[in-house]
Structure 1
Amino acid sequence: MATILITSATLVSAAHPLHMSTVDVLLKNGKIEKLAKQIKSDDKNLRQIDAKGSFLALGFFDLNVNFGEPGYETKEDIATGSAAAAAGGFTAVAVQPNTNPPIHSRSEVALIVNTAKGNLVDVYPIGTISRKREGKELAELFDMKQTGAVAFSDGNHAVQQAGLMGRALLYAKGFQGLIMSHPEDDSIAGGNKMNEGEVSTYLGMKGNPNLAESIMVSRDLFLAEYNEAAIHFSTISTEESVDLIKKAKAKGLKVSCDVAAHNLVFTDEEVKGFDSNYKVNPPLRTKKDIKALLKGLKDGTIDAIVSQHTPHEIEFKNVEFQIAYDGIIASQTVLPLLIKAGLSPEAIVEKLSVGPRKVLSLPVPSLEEGADANLVLFSTDKKWIFDAKTNKSKAANSPLFGQELTGKVLAVFNNNQTVIND
């Protein structure tokens, strides 16, 4: 990283004495050399970034991305996934085990850790709860933790056996491992691909009801309480789930949760056009659910926001809605969606920079002088077009593709590296 001087940025860091003040930041050799209200430098090789009207914060952390490697590199590999993440303001990501083979042993964990070495974006593997994500027997949780896994989940496969989930919670508790639940009861969801409600009735499509999610949230909360273990719920989407988790936190349970950015903006009304890019899991819900999710973010029930970046080749999305695969590419569109949802810069930083790291019990980077520079510079009003030129992913399955978006990541700094989005 060259010596860089960022000038006139608004610092967003609730823990810093200059929070919401206009500051200059001098970066040298990958470290914060100086942070003050005004900095003057005589360095002729200095690169200056005028950040007037923009915000500077700790680098974003994404708790839910799918990179495809190993096995599905045609969808996304670690290099292209990291490039998309960096363009979206993320300096760290946790990758889901939806791979082939799944991340279910120390070998796959080591592969990801070693492949990602030297990246600007820190890549943390999430190991499986069960072998092969089949939901039958526990995977090698402790071995994976020792090798670098930061949590355990069966990805987009919900653990249907309550006994297996209970054993996972109890076993992981012994070494401070975190179990992540993808809450969906398959027997109720029925493999249906959109929200059950007025729109599904109008379209004549079988729906996936809120109950499929909330009943699994309820089950896993009981299991976590019984085993006195910590649990994290990935991508909740319903009013009922927010209410259940809020009550569990009030009881003192060790529970956290996140929500996907698209579930804060899009509703099941979008499905009327049968655009398969609106097909996600959990499905897009209703305005009532979005209202509850936004309230849950505000009152602290929801700890983090994720992209749920899920790339697919064109043959898996450019087909009939019913048979299309779930998921959208989303690393680069999280910020514009959160601005559209009405979140303030402070709320965005809390749910993208601080909250995710706290969920995983990882240290929150420091903004003190002498600390490693782990930063994102973003604007809440600059416009840009998300298209083939700006897209860094291998895939293009996004309902926002080709649109002008408001809210742009201007630069990220981490591991003595810089990416600037011109």
Structure 2
Amino acid sequence: MSNLLITSAKVAFPGNPFHGKEVDVLLNDGEISKIAPRIEVTDDKVTTFDAKGQYLAPGFFDLNANFGEPGLETKEDLLSGCAAALAGGFTGVAVHPNTHPPVHSRSEVALIINRMKSLPIDIHPVGAISKRREGEELAELYDMKLAGAVAFGDGNRPVQQAGLMSRALCYCKGFGGVVFSFPEDTSVAGDAKMNEGVTSTYLGMKGKPNLAEALMVARDLYLAEYNDSSIHFTTISTAESVALIRKAKSKGLSVTCDVAAHHLVFTDDLVAGFESNYKVNPPLRTKTDVKALLEGLEDGTIDAIVSQHTPHEIEFKQVEFHIAANGIIGLQTVLPLALQAGLGTDQLIEKLAIGPRRVLALPLPEFKEKALANFVLFDTEKTWQFDKSTNRSKSSNSPLMGRAIKGGVTLVVNKRQIINTLN
């Protein structure tokens, strides 16, 4: 399918001359050879794809996904993670260093990049800030940058030592490295299993207060200001975090942040059924927090929506809630959840494709003739069943498994490859 004619697609490339228009697009070996209101072809080697009612948008980019390779391939390897990402419309993914061994040196970064060269997705390793993600000694940050690491963070382990985070911010400033903060003060969070609030009190379960996140956001904002450096907060979940980051942006600080798609829809009352697939970190919060997160997306405080894709084998999730592992798979359900949260098409594109790449200073996909295609076709009205037959991940830990979902991806084009996700 190297020669493809896409007909009647509605373009969703903000700032592009074709934005909002219905066009035909002719692809030749992954390159956009023609864009026009109507294209007629007589070559029987050209495959036609009817995109009536669908949006053609820049390929999505995920700033927070976990693939198990190296070391945890039974959860997810790079190939299965790539398949799940493509099925969700992602042509670019930043993979976090929650692996074994962690991605904390040049060799792990090179392994990931070399493994993904031939695949139709751009994989960008996030190197660990600290050696072995132990939060005590800086890892080989510049070496990892030279090898291809796009940012630095300790994955799902927050950096507790303020001095270490300060040195990381100062050091990365010298070579343009991006520092990711997973904001949680573990001395406040403790061994909590869910959000602290009415539901945790009702269930008699130890809760994690919003304060644990807000304290770390406040600390790292001060450190970034002190070092005159930039910082990115990943998977914020509270109203307090939104307010702190909004204020920092108004002061001119170089700060960005993202939110996980499930935090825009699910709330902590769902934990009352002790369904372990609702156990995530940060935990599901309250309706007040969800409202603040949606307002943060609307006013530009929050730059991106992420999957926080965290696959686990069945034995880590089908157990009692208090001992179940945190995390759900999310690459294939980001779009449906964002639609369920009420985001419009332009806002979807901004938070799923444009904003994430700006955080990492990556080039945006172009939609013009003679450009290499990097786009996704999606249908906001498409209803599909998320089950064993449609799940592309090795794992199945999602509360949406077995449900009918609205909003789906039909076609992805990137790196001269065309993936029909309907097959």
Deviation, structure 1 residue 72: 0.2
Residue 413 of structure 1 corresponds to: 413
In the alignment, residue 201 of structure 2 is paired with which amino acid?
T
In the alignment, residue 209 of structure 1 is paired with which amino acid?
P
Residue 76 of structure 1 corresponds to: 76
Residue 211 of structure 2 corresponds to: 211
Paired with 1:33 and 1:204, the residues of 2 have a C-alpha distance of 62
Paired with 2:271 and 2:412, the residues of 1 have a C-alpha distance of 34
Paired with 1:85 and 1:418, the residues of 2 have a C-alpha distance of 14
In the alignment, residue 407 of structure 2 is paired with which amino acid?
G
Paired with 1:291 and 1:23, the residues of 2 have a C-alpha distance of 36
Q: Percent identity over the alignment?
A: 64
Residue 57 of structure 1 corresponds to: 57
In the TM superposition, what are the counterparts of 1:156-305 in structure 2 within 5 Å?
A: 156-305=156-305
Deviation, structure 1 residue 18: 1.6
Deviation, structure 1 residue 193: 1.8
Structure 2: stretches of 5+ with no match in the other structure:
none
Deviation, structure 1 residue 308: 0.5
Structure 2 residue matching 1:223: 3-state secondary structure: helix
Paired with 2:322 and 2:35, the residues of 1 have a C-alpha distance of 53
Q: Which moved more, 1:40-49 or 1:368-377?
A: 40-49
Paired with 1:244 and 1:43, the residues of 2 have a C-alpha distance of 58
Could you report, residue by residue, the CA deviation over 1:337-378 in whole angstroms, capped at 9, with x for unpaired residues? 011101111111111110100000000011111111101000
Matched, 1:118 2:113: no
Deviation, structure 1 residue 41: 1.6
Structure 2 residue matching 1:263: 3-state secondary structure: helix
Paired with 1:223 and 1:38, the residues of 2 have a C-alpha distance of 55
Matched, 1:144 2:117: no
Residue 379 of structure 2 corresponds to: 379
Could you report, residue by residue, the CA deviation over 1:249-293 in whole angstroms, capped at 9, with x for unpaired residues? 111100000000000000001100000000001000011101010
Paired with 2:269 and 2:37, the residues of 1 have a C-alpha distance of 47
Residue 347 of structure 2 corresponds to: 347
Paired with 1:236 and 1:375, the residues of 2 have a C-alpha distance of 28
Structure 1 residue matching 2:355: 3-state secondary structure: helix
In the alignment, residue 296 of structure 1 is paired with which amino acid?
G
Paired with 1:166 and 1:421, the residues of 2 have a C-alpha distance of 44
Structure 1 residue matching 2:217: 3-state secondary structure: helix
Residue 329 of structure 1 corresponds to: 329
Residue 313 of structure 1 corresponds to: 313
Paired with 1:36 and 1:13, the residues of 2 have a C-alpha distance of 15
Residue 20 of structure 2 corresponds to: 20
Deviation, structure 1 residue 120: 0.7
Q: Which moved more, 1:261-270 or 1:38-47?
A: 38-47
Paired with 2:38 and 2:346, the residues of 1 have a C-alpha distance of 22
Residue 392 of structure 1 corresponds to: 392
Paired with 1:332 and 1:409, the residues of 2 have a C-alpha distance of 9
Paired with 2:193 and 2:257, the residues of 1 have a C-alpha distance of 22
In the TM superposition, what are the counterparts of 1:365-376 in structure 2 within 5 Å?
A: 365-376=365-376
Structure 1 residue runs of 4+, over 2 Å off? none
Paired with 2:284 and 2:224, the residues of 1 have a C-alpha distance of 27
Matched, 1:6 2:11: no
Structure 1 residue matching 2:16: 3-state secondary structure: coil
**Paired residues, number:** 422
Paired with 1:330 and 1:208, the residues of 2 have a C-alpha distance of 23
Deviation, structure 1 residue 418: 1.3
Deviation, structure 1 residue 189: 0.5
Paired with 1:350 and 1:38, the residues of 2 have a C-alpha distance of 28
Structure 2 residue matching 1:118: 3-state secondary structure: coil
Q: Which moved more, 1:191-200 or 1:147-156?
A: 191-200
Paired with 2:17 and 2:302, the residues of 1 have a C-alpha distance of 26
In the alignment, residue 225 of structure 1 is paired with which amino acid?
E
Let me know the Cα RMSD of the aligned residues. 0.6
Structure 2 residue matching 1:8: 3-state secondary structure: strand
Residue 362 of structure 2 corresponds to: 362
In the TM superposition, what are the counterparts of 1:23-62 in structure 2 within 5 Å?
A: 23-62=23-62
Could you report, residue by residue, the CA deviation over 1:100-131 in whole angstroms, capped at 9, with x for unpaired residues? 00000000000000011111111110000000
Could you report, residue by residue, the CA deviation over 1:37-70 in whole angstroms, capped at 9, with x for unpaired residues? 2222222111111111110001000111100000
Paired with 2:23 and 2:241, the residues of 1 have a C-alpha distance of 40
Deviation, structure 1 residue 98: 0.2
In the alignment, residue 176 of structure 1 is paired with which amino acid?
G
Deviation, structure 1 residue 17: 1.3
Structure 1: stretches of 5+ with no match in the other structure:
none
What is the TM-score when the length of structure 1 is the normalising length?
Answer: 0.99
Residue 96 of structure 2 corresponds to: 96
Paired with 1:121 and 1:69, the residues of 2 have a C-alpha distance of 16
Could you report, residue by residue, the CA deviation over 1:158-209 in whole angstroms, capped at 9, with x for unpaired residues? 0000000000000000000000000000000002120000000000001001
Deviation, structure 1 residue 150: 0.1
Paired with 2:19 and 2:29, the residues of 1 have a C-alpha distance of 24
What is the TM-score when the length of structure 2 is the normalising length?
Answer: 0.99
Structure 2 residue matching 1:23: 3-state secondary structure: strand
Structure 2 residue matching 1:404: 3-state secondary structure: strand
Paired with 1:167 and 1:380, the residues of 2 have a C-alpha distance of 45
In the alignment, residue 113 of structure 1 is paired with which amino acid?
I
In the alignment, residue 89 of structure 1 is paired with which amino acid?
G
In the alignment, residue 131 of structure 1 is paired with which amino acid?
K
Paired with 1:204 and 1:116, the residues of 2 have a C-alpha distance of 46
